[in-house]
Structure formats: C-alpha cells, structure tokens
Amino acid sequence: MILKSCNYYEEAVKFAEKWMKKCKYELKAINVQMKNYPMDKTQIKSFPKCKCIRIGADDVETFRWWLQKVPNQIESIHLGVLDADREVFTIPSDLLNAPQIMETSECTLWCSADFSDEQFLNLKASDLSFYCVNIIDQGINEYIRRWVNGKGVPKFVRALLWGNKARDYAEMTRELEYRHWDAEFEEEAGFCGDFERICGHGNCVQIYSKIDPYESLTLLVSSEGVAIYGTGHKKEYNGKTYSVYSFPHC
C-alpha cells in the first residue's frame, strides 16, 4: 500500500483499526506506541477479550483512555513514556487506582508512579516494576512482612521500586529475620554472583518466611532503588527438604 499526500499518522491508525474491526476487537493483546493517538476519530469501543496491554504515550489521558477500553481483569500491563523524562513524568494516584493496574498479575510502569503506601500494599501483581515517588520505608517493611507471614502476593516474583531516594535500611528490615550475604551464605546459596551480574550490586540480605523457612526473599538496596526478589524456593528430593536459589531475569 502506497499513500500520497495524506496524514500518514491517521492512515496508519485507520489501517490498524480496520483489522481490529475484522477481528471484532477480540484481541488478546494490544501494543500501541504512539503519541497523540486520534482518540476523537477512533471507532474503538472496547477490547472485551484483551489480557495484555502495552501502551507508550506522553500524557496521562492517553493511558486513561486505553485502560477504559480493556476489561478490569487483565494479566499484564506495561505503561511507558516515549519522549518524556520517565523520572519526571508521573502517573497520578487516581489513575493508578484503576482495577486494570491494581488487580493485574504483572505491572510494569516505565515512568514515575504516585502510589500511596496503601495502594502499594494492595497491589495484586506478583511481578511489579515502577519509578517510586512516595512509598516510604515503613510501607516497604510492611510489604515484606506480609509476605513473611503468609499474607503477601501469591507466587511472588519481584517488586522493583526504582529511584535514588535515601532509604533507612534498619526501618525496612525492622522485626524481620534476615541473613547478610556474607562469604558463608554466598558459598551455600551458589547464585549470588549471577544475581549481582544480572540484577545489580548493592546491600543484599536474605529474608525468611515464617510460614516455610525454606522459602525466602532477597532485599537489594542500591543507589538505583529498592528491589525485592523471590529467590529462595523449597525443594524435596529423596526425602530431604532444602532450598534452591534462583531469580527472574531482569
């Protein structure tokens, strides 16, 4: 198809939406990386079967518009800025309260997100990443404590809170049982070198579950932010129970 003397932006949208219509808008996944999407000319009403949405934009209302087109219950959401400064551009708390964000299993926000502590603690995502604005050390401590006491997110993978805000390590680990990554632990676990190579260096401790001591988290605090990974996993073999350490690729 060759188009001359036209608005290529709008023609591309028309072409894409024509095929969406042919599919009755029953798409399982949506990926749109476009500034100034012509929302006033679109034919889209909703995507009733969408499970995964990935949107790149430079304004909050575009994010809001797309979220309103997908079901409340989706499996993953990725929102990111295109040209704006991702550490300055901020998704406000009211939009973050949308069920598509609060209840999804995987949430990646490539920009700052103004989550309150309460919102952070109520997120259902087992895999979470965003630039942190207002979450305080006590909120992070409570998030970890809930997991330790068996009340955290099921099948937890990781929570990455990016940002260079100064943190109080003692407050984040208050009343938690943990083990420093010393030479003895590094030899025992056998994964610390690979973890640091992939996930980054910083102050690392292993935090153990009170429900099952063979299950544990890694708390990594660095100049880039706070990261919590589910790394210690219970295994059984020949009647013996032990921990195996691994991590999701970043």
pLDDT at site 4: 56
Confidence grade of residue 127 (pLDDT, cut at 50, 70, 90):
very high
Q: CA separation (Å) from 88 to 40, 110, 127, 195, 226?
A: 28, 11, 23, 29, 18
H runs (alpha helix) in 68-181: 93-96, 99-102, 117-122, 137-148, 169-172
Query: What's the full length of the chain, in residues?
Result: 250
pLDDT at site 12: 83
Mean pLDDT, the chain, as a whole number? Answer: 93
* 70, 104 Cβ separation under 8 angstroms: no
Nearest to 36 by CA among 1, 77, 70, 83: 83
pLDDT exceeds cutoff 60 at 212: yes
* 52, 30 Cβ separation under 8 angstroms: yes
Residue type at 181 in one-letter notation:
W
pTM above 0.85, yes or no: yes
pLDDT at site 7: 67
The full set of domain ranges for the chain reads 25-38+48-135, 164-250
Q: Averaged over 74-84, what is the pLDDT?
A: 95
- Render pLDDT for 15-52 as a digit per residue (tens, 0 to 9): 888 999 999 999 999 999 998 888 888 999 999 999 99
Nearest to 230 by CA among 179, 161, 156, 177: 156
Q: Averaged over 241-245, what is the pLDDT?
A: 95
Q: How far is CA 207 from the centre of its chain?
A: 21
Residues paired with residue 214 on neighbouring β-strands, in sequence order: none
